[in-house]
Amino acid sequence: MSFCSDIKTELTDIKVSRCCVQALTYGLLLFGRAFGAQKISMQSENEAVTKLYSALIKKNYDVDVKITVGESKNTTYKAEIADEIDRLKILASVDFGMVEGKISHEFFNRACCEAAFVRGAFLACGQMSDPAKSYRVDFPVKNEALAQELRDILARHSVAANISTRGKGFVVYIKRSEMIINLLALIGASARSLELIETTIIKEVNNKTNRVFNCDGANINKTIEASMKQRKAIEYLIKREMLSSLPEELIAAARLRLKYPEASLKELCKNSPETITVSGLNHRLKKIIEIYEEIK
Residues at the contact surface with Zn ion, assessed by CB under 5 A? 19-20, 110, 112-113
Give whichever of 63 and 112 is closer to Zn ion, judged by the CB atom.
112
Question: In whole angstroms, what is the distance from residue 40 CA to residue 222 CA?
Answer: 59
Nearer to Zn ion, 22 or 46 (CB): 22
**What's the min distance (Å) between Cβ of 17 and Zn ion?**
5
Query: Which residue number, 112 or 246, has a Cβ lying nearer to Zn ion?
Result: 112
Closest separation in Å from C-beta 188 to Zn ion: 12
User: What string of DSSP letters covers 143-174?
Assistant: -HHHHHHHHHHHHHTT---EEEEETTEEEEEE
Sign of CA dihedral 204, 209, 214, 215: positive
* Separation of alpha carbons 197 and 246, rounded Å: 18
Q: How far is the CB of 246 from Zn ion (least distance, A)?
A: 24
**Residue in 241, 240, 239, 257 with CA at minimum distance from that of residue 249:** 257
Helices (H) then strands (E): counts for the chain: 12, 8
Least distance in Å: CB of 145 to Zn ion? 24
Judged by CB, which is closer to Zn ion: 131, or 188? 188
Distance of closest approach, residue 208 Cβ to Zn ion, in angstroms: 41
Give strand pairing partners of 99. Answer: none
- Centroid of chain to Cα 105: 21
Specify the residue, 116 or 285, whose C-beta has the smaller distance to Zn ion.
116
